[in-house]
Structure 1
Amino acid sequence: MTQRNILGGFVALFAAFPSALAADCAREGLLAAAQSYLTAQSTGQLSAMKLSTSNFTYQQNNKVREISTGLLSQSYKIDLNRSTADTVACASYTMWISTTGSKPYVVGTQIRHNDNNTNEIALIDTIAATTGDLFFDASKTLGYIKAEDWTTIPEAGRPSRDTLRKAGDAYLDMWTDAKAADTIPWGTDCERVEGSQLTRPCNGQLPRGGSSKKNGMRRYVIDETVGSVDVLCQFDSLGTMPDSHEIRIVNGKVKYVHTITALRVG
């Protein structure tokens, strides 16, 4: 499938879910649906989830495919997982890591719902990295992320949705905009985990333009309670790689950056 066809398909996909972009959903329902996804993934039983019978789509590494042929068709022992919830977009983001078995994985998944209905899942959108993908080493990644602090931020100190989205966009714009890096509120103690590579502080060795292709197909899950934004995208600046970038802001400064990058579509 060509890049144009993938992008066109994705635009059409979100046109089918207009309410998901303006919904106001219960946080508890979003996290419950995310947990049902984790149960399905750890058991290989799709019946653990309530999928929409009228309008469901499964996408893996930026390609729409049958859920029965994707990651969820098999069970994986999950060593670590974490979920965030976006009550405005009626969506959640779940990261999970599996280090055992013949094929380890680091996975980022956005789940979306229609019409404020968190009882049914309309879209499962997954970026999955495994052996051979960019800087991949699931055990190293697990060690870094297990040590992180994702405590809920007190309400008075939470970053706004606009701040979080701008940080996510500015990060992805660094490859095409020489000034983008300077607009990001870097923390002096921030950590960046790219695959299995750790950079501290996370604003070391940043790109400053050079590519003419902006990273596209961006879709967002923003959770102010933990100060996070996850952006799934197609990394067009360096190719057409499926990619997830997650950023956490604490006390007004970037604390963590995580990337999951697959080298193949589908």
Structure 2
Amino acid sequence: MKVLVAIAALVTAASADCTRESLLASAQTYIDAQKAGSTTGLKLSSSFKYQQNNKERAISAGLLATPYKLDLVRSTADTVACASYTMWISASGSKPYVVGTQIRHDGNDTSTISLIDTVAATTGDLFFNASKTLGYIQKEDWTPINKTESMPSRELLKKVGDAYLDMWTDSKAADSIPWGTECERVEGSQYTSPCGQSLPHGGSSKPNGMRRYVIDEVTGSVDVLCQFDSLGTMPDSHEIRVIDGKVKYVHTITALKVG
């Protein structure tokens, strides 16, 4: 009996091991579903929720119900939060999109998906031009950081992500961020280099809320989905990459309406 209990414990521990490989594999099932416009290949948990632009809705009423040609796809993984972040761009269809999606798994179990949380921008949204955004981001280098000692800490990445979102309410936040001299910022389709130019230094009394994080030390990145309360209740994704301790890339996806 003791042997059986021990084996069962090992099996349970193995099934609850949230690995980078399993997170990226699950993210790939989401990508495949989006290309097909069908959710039949997704393994959803009994408590599954779908959220689009900060509003819960039926998955059948969201982007996954329509197939899109994806011109760019990139995913990152957070083994601590057992979550992934996928950015995709569809610039060549009749309705272009730039999308950021966080996928979460309860109980460190990547065999099922408990939450698909999407911020999607399209024509008419803030600074939107999918073709221009695609052109900028295709040129970026997202090679994983191979040396552990070169990876930014989880604490630093979260601090940078929070400081960026705090710039609208905290006059000191912008200057606390370690800007790289060759960093690039893509806000919708607006390009700024170096990143540290033309930044807000407070002025709003409303902090940006509803922050949800995916932090990946291997790529040196943090994505924060939020509600951009400082300028209005806009669904928003801010992704930042840090290389050698300095900010290298910033991406923003901002929808003008909830839902």
TM-score interval, smaller chain: over 0.9
Given the alignment, which residue of 130, 133, 138 partners 2:122? 130
In 2, Cα distance between equivalents of 1:24 and 1:145: 32
**Which residue type is aligned with residue 181 of structure 2?**
T
**Which residue type is aligned with residue 240 of structure 2?**
I
1:265 partnered with 2:258: yes
Runs of 4+ in 1 over 2 A off after TM superposition: none
- 8 Å CA contact 1:24–1:88 kept in 2: the answer is no
2:40 alignment partner in structure 1:
47
In 1, Cα distance between equivalents of 2:206 and 2:116: 27
Identity level (%): 75
State the SS of the aligned residue for 1:181.
Answer: helix
State the SS of the aligned residue for 1:225.
Answer: coil
> What residue ranges of structure 1 are gaps of 5+ in the alignment?
1-22
Q: Output the TM-score relative to the length of structure 2.
A: 0.93
- 8 Å CA contact 1:76–1:98 kept in 2: the answer is yes
Deviations 1:95-131 (A, max 9, x none): 0000122210000000000111101000000000000
Task: Name the larger-Rg structure.
Answer: 2
Tell me the number of residue pairs that the alignment of Structure 1 and Structure 2 aligns: 243
2:110 alignment partner in structure 1:
118
- 8 Å CA contact 1:159–1:224 kept in 2: the answer is yes
Structure 1 residue 24: Cα displacement: 5.9
Given the alignment, which residue of 165, 168, 183 partners 1:172? 165
Given the alignment, which residue of 71, 81, 92 partners 1:89? 81
Q: Output the TM-score relative to the length of structure 1.
A: 0.90
**Which residue type is aligned with residue 163 of structure 1?**
L
In 1, Cα distance between equivalents of 2:215 and 2:40: 28
Given the alignment, which residue of 69, 80, 95 partners 2:72? 80
Given the alignment, which residue of 177, 192, 202 partners 2:195? 202
Deviations 1:120-163 (A, max 9, x none): 00000000000000000000000000000001112110000000
> What residue ranges of structure 2 are gaps of 5+ in the alignment?
1-15
Deviations 1:164-194 (A, max 9, x none): 0000000000000000011100000000000
RMSD: 0.8
Structure 1 residue 49: Cα displacement: 1.1
**Which residue type is aligned with residue 84 of structure 2?**
S
2:141 alignment partner in structure 1:
149
2:155 alignment partner in structure 1:
162
